[in-house]
Each structure stands twice: as C-alpha cells, then as structure tokens.
Copies of this chain bind each other. A is one copy, B any other.
Amino acid sequence: MKELLYLKDDQLKDLIEKIFVGYRETFSDSKKILDKYSIGLAHQKVIHLLSMYEGISISKLLAKLKVTKQSLNRVLKDLIKLEIIVFKKDEIDTRIKHVYLNEKGKKIFEEIFLLQKKRIYNALLDSSSEEVINFDKVLKKIING
C-alpha cells in the first residue's frame, strides 16, 4: 500500500468490522453439532487445535489459545468426560503431557469441521488462487502485527 500514501480510517473501520463478522460466522456454522454433544465454542477451538497439532503439549495449547490453564482445564475435563481425548507422557521429559483426539474425537471433529469448512471452502472456490494467496498473506501479516 506504500504507493497509496494513506489508508483511510473508514477503510480500516470497515475491515475491522469484517474481521469480527468473518470470525463470528466462521465459528457459528457448526453450532448444531456442538449442541448435540453439549459443548461450546471453547471446546470447538481445542478440538480444532488437537486435530491440527496431534500430541500438542498443554503449555503449547495454552500459548495458542491465550487463556489461563484454569480455563483450559475446564474444557479438557469436559472432553475427558465425553471420552474423546487421551494423554501420553513425554518419554524424555515426563512432566510434559501430550494431548490427542482418540477415534471418537476425530469423528466428532469431522462432524464439526464438515459444517465449519463449507463457508471457507465456498469462498475459496469462488476466488482465484492469487486472491486466496493474498488473503492468507495479509491475514498472516495482521497476526504477526
């Protein structure tokens, strides 16, 4: 954007609203499935990360979620009750706990993801690969702020 010399506040406000709405809609499509298993948005996020990062440690999960361990533990306890996660101690450093979705957990994730990904999938399908690459690029820059 250097060539434009300025970025108008109105454009920035508009983008901020869109980031909010995009997030909200992306994480509300799968609500029916969450209700089916009596879990919520916090559980969905944890399951999502467990699917992406199999065997992630508690501290890394905390770092990705940016919540306190008290908050995360409530969610993990619910997922244990649901019988969808398992833990394995690190073989070298036994303080570290690795968290995994079991088969049931993976199935439930697929149920959630099937609904959630539709919105993104359709948006990308309707875009050129360059548009998609640029979307990803800018989003990454926003995150790395």
Q: Which positions in A face B, CB cutoff 8 Å? A: 1-4, 7, 9-10, 12-27, 29, 45, 48-49, 51-52, 66, 113, 116-132, 134-143, 145
Contact = CB atoms under 8 A, between A and B. Distances in A.
B27 A142 contact: no
B145 A122 contact: yes
A98 to B, nearest CB: 19
Copies of this chain, whole number: 2
Contacts of A125: 1-2, 7
Contacts of A143: 18, 21-22, 25
A139 B127 CA distance: 11
Given A7-B124, A52-B14, A123-B145, A23 B25 contact: no
B22 A116 contact: no
B123 A25 contact: no
A139 to B, nearest CB: 5
The residue in A20, A45, A66, A127 that gathers the most chain B C-beta atoms within 10 A of its C-beta is: A20
A138 B51 CA distance: 25
Contact of A12 (B24, B117, B127, B138): B117
Nearest to A133: B134
A22 B142 CA distance: 6
B49 A1 contact: no
A133 B110 CA distance: 32
Contacts of A1: 124-129, 132
A30 to B, nearest CB: 10
